[in-house]
Amino acid sequence: MLAGETVVAQVDHGAAPPNWQITRGRPAFHLQQIILGVVVVAIGVVGAVFLLANPNQAFSYGAGGEASMSVINGWRTVDFVVLAIFALAGAYLIVQHTGSYASAKSDLLVMVPEGFVIRTGRRIQTYDFATLTSLRATLSRGTLIVNATQASGAKLRSSIDGRFGKVKPIGQAILAAYSQYRAATVRPQG
C-alpha cells in the first residue's frame, strides 16, 4: 500500500530511492499567473478610466451612424460590467497565485513504480495503482485532469496545472506508468 505521507517525508529528507521521479513546483508558473492577473486588472481599470473620461463613448456600440444617448448609455453599462469582470478575474488570479508563490517549491509530484503522489500546499493526494480499477488523464485548457476509480468504488480527481512543467508529458508519464504496473501485475490464466 502506497502511503503518500511517507513518500513525501522521504523526499523532504532526501531519502528517496533513485527510481522515483521527483518534480518540484516551479515558482515561475505562479509568477506568470500573477503577471497575467495584473495585466487583466489593468485592462479593466484603463477601460473604466477611459469610459469615465469620455461620457459619450462606448466600446460595445459598433453600429455606424449617430446613436442616441440612451443607446450609448446602455452600451456603456454593458462595457462597465465586462470591465468589472476583467478586473475581478485578474484580482482572483493575483490572490490565488500570490499565496501559492511562496510555497511553490514545497509542491511535489512524485512518480514511484506503485503509483504517484501529489502535494500542493498542505494537501497530499495518493494514487496507489494497486487499488485503482481505472485511471484517465485528460487535458483541459492547459490543465491535466486525472480521474481514477478505486476498487472500493471511490473516485479520485486531481487537477495538475503548469506548476510542475508541461502537463501533457506528465499525463503521458502517469498513463505509461499505470499501464506498466497493470501489465506487470496481470497474472496469466491457466
Q: pLDDT, tens digit, for every residue of 132-190?
A: 999 999 988 888 999 999 989 999 998 888 888 898 999 999 999 999 998 888 665 55
Domain ranges of the chain: 4-25+107-185, 29-102
pLDDT tens for residues 18-35? 999 998 888 888 888 899
The three cell numbers of residue 8 are 513525501
Per residue in 42-86, pLDDT tens? 999 999 999 999 888 888 656 555 667 778 888 888 999 999 999
- What integer pLDDT is reported at residue 63 of this predicted model? 53
Write out the three cell numbers for 175. 498513463
Whole-number Å distance between alpha carbons of 152 and 124: 20
Percent of the chain with pLDDT over 70: 93
User: What pLDDT was estimated at residue 39?
Assistant: 95
Phi, psi of 56 (to 5 degrees): -100, 15
CA dihedral of 129, 130, 135, 137, whole degrees rounded to 10: 0
Euclidean distance between CA atoms 113 and 144, whole angstroms: 20
Residue whose C-alpha cell reads 440612451 in the numeric block = 70
* Whether CATH 2.30.29.30 fits 4-25+107-185: yes
